[in-house]
Amino acid sequence: MADPSIGLWTVPLAVFGGAIRVSTPFLFVSLGECITERSGRINLGLEGTLVMGAMSAYGISYLSGSPWLGVLAAGITGALFGALHAGICSLPRVNDIAVGIALMLLGTGLAFFLGKPLIEPTAPRLPAIDFGWWSDVPQVRAALRINVLFLIGVAIAPLLYWAFRTTRWGLLIRTAGESSDAARAMGHSVLLIRLRATMVGGFLAGIGGSFLSLFYPGSWNEGLSSGQGITAVALVIFARWDPMLCLWASLAFGGAAALGPALQSVGVTSGYHLFNAAPYILTLAIMIITCSPKRTLTGAPAELSITR
């Protein structure tokens, strides 16, 4: 009799599958935050945006029957939250970190409040594309059922990398982030650039939320994000504000999150709390290895309130 299990191969496969499944929200939030921070502002509120996006996507998908409409709604909600953040921050003497924390609490609170009637119903989910058709192993096929949002996220990363370097818009965002005086001297409104950058960042974070509620884990509940938004914001710092590094870092986080359950499933049962903490240990380790008291972070936009 053929053994349907694949034994120890589960672990690398789960880490690989997890990298694809779990990483998407990290990817969208970190790319969004990357744009915002490159323009010289930190939006810590993306955790709230993510949860709000997840809730509105689920709600709209349930009410309209179209998950793609849900994704759009999540993006718009995110952009509105971004606009709110940017709007408040454009007032004089407002600290963007404090506003971010306030918006994080507002976003999660509002999502829990509005999402109350959505916990029970089941909304239509986003479809997956089957990339595992070539394999006979059901586990591989399952791991390769990939959502199109993940592919979009993967495509956005090099696009952003390119845009930051070679397009006019990329240059403007970087100028606003490196020296607002220079941008102003060139005749551009720094506030307007930052408003747009924060709105785009919020839009992407909202879409990241829609992935959580509409694809994986695939339903709305209040523990859905459990800090993924804030982790993704931290991820931008250790990805050194580089969209391509954001992509790799998100994949590493997704894989690390799958490690704990996968090891338990093959019988490595001791220290599962430690393996569950793997993503956070990874963050700390990278932070410690790369930090230096002698210089500021390489690649950090000069206008950012944490580096200024």
**DSSP label of 167:** S
The DSSP bridge partners found for residue 128 are 147
Distance (Å, whole) CA 195 – CA 179: 16
Tokens of 268: 């490595």
Please tell me the number of Cα atoms within 13 Å of 54 on its side-chain side.
37
CB closer to other proteins out of 1 and 288: 1
Binding flags for other proteins, 10-29, as an x/- string (CB under 8 A): x--xx--xx--xx-------
6 touches other proteins (CB under 8 A): yes
Looking only at residues 223 through 242 of this chain, which bind other proteins when binding is defined by CB under 8 A?
A: 223-224, 226, 228
Q: What string of DSSP letters covers 110-127? A: HHHHHHGGGSSS-PPPPP
Give Cα 143 to chain centroid, integer Å: 21
Phi/psi for 244 (5° steps) reads: -65, -40
Min dist. Cβ of residue 21 to other proteins (A):
8
Look at the alpha carbons of 116, 117, 122, 126 in this order and tell me if their dihedral is positive or negative.
Answer: negative
CB closer to other proteins out of 119 and 291: 119
Min dist. Cβ of residue 166 to other proteins (A):
36
Binding flags for other proteins, 256-285, as an x/- string (CB under 8 A): -xx-xxx-xxxx-xx-xx--x---------
Distances (CA, A) of 16 to 7, 92, 152: 15, 47, 18
Binding flags for other proteins, 187-226, as an x/- string (CB under 8 A): -----------------------------xxxx-xxxx-x
The contact set with other proteins (CB under 8 A) reads 3-6, 10, 13-14, 17-18, 21-22, 112, 116-117, 119-120, 122, 139, 142, 216-219, 221-224, 226, 228, 257-258, 260-262, 264-267, 269-270, 272-273, 276
